[in-house]
Amino acid sequence: MDSKFSRLQSFVNESNSNNDDNIQSWSRAVFSRDLFQTNIDRVQSFFNKRSDGSSTSSSSSSSSSADDMQILLQKGDNDPILPALSRKQRIVGFMLCLVMGIFCMSLATLYIPVIVFKARKFALLFSFGSLFFLSSFSMLWGPTNHLKHLTNIDRLPFSITYMITLICTVYYSVWVNIVFLI
């Protein structure tokens, strides 16, 4: 890191010594130096947070992220549909559904080159991948809490549209044999 910074510092010093250079190149060099130093500080704080957590800013950000995770998991603990699941079971269920969603989406992307010939398979795999992603967060938060989150007044039109398109995609790709609809 120091060698890159020293090269950048020498470039800035060169541009400061040459008064004939235009002001834009000098301001770009100063801006890039500040940007570079900001990025170095971010990387260092990231590794400090991972290794010891001794700095105050990194420990406060890590404690806030831990608090956020605790809030998410507490929502799942109070869910009336799946009350018997422990936190570990919820996290394992979340990870399994997430992996299944990634698997279905990955298979769906393999059908993109032949989407004209295999449109039904693509639509089913993509739709099931989306359903697995939704169910993964339902496992983490609890189905009731996740449904309340999706039907919030701000998200309601988008959630309804998304669910209707998912249901129609599965319906038309499985039961209806009209090729032009899918």
Considering the domain boundaries, does residue 101 fall inside one? yes
As a whole number, mean pLDDT of residues 30-55 equals 61
Considering the domain boundaries, does residue 69 fall inside one? no
pLDDT band at residue 8 using 50, 70 and 90 as cut-offs: low
Considering the domain boundaries, does residue 92 fall inside one? yes
**Distance between CA atoms of 109 and 39, rounded to whole angstroms?**
34
Considering the domain boundaries, does residue 76 fall inside one? no
Same domain? For 112 and 150 the reply is yes
pLDDT per residue as tens digits for the range 117-156: 888 888 899 999 999 999 998 888 888 888 888 888 888 9
Considering the domain boundaries, does residue 40 fall inside one? yes
Considering the domain boundaries, does residue 177 fall inside one? yes
Same domain? For 96 and 177 the reply is yes
Same domain? For 87 and 159 the reply is yes
Considering the domain boundaries, does residue 68 fall inside one? no
CA triple 106-109-114, angle to 5 deg: 140
Count of domains forming the chain: 2
pLDDT at residue 57, rounded to an integer: 46
pLDDT at residue 88, rounded to an integer: 85
Considering the domain boundaries, does residue 138 fall inside one? yes
pLDDT at residue 154, rounded to an integer: 86
Average pLDDT value over all residues in the chain: 74
Provide the domain limits for residue 103: 83-181
pLDDT per residue as tens digits for the range 13-40: 665 555 445 555 445 544 556 666 766 7
pLDDT at residue 53, rounded to an integer: 46
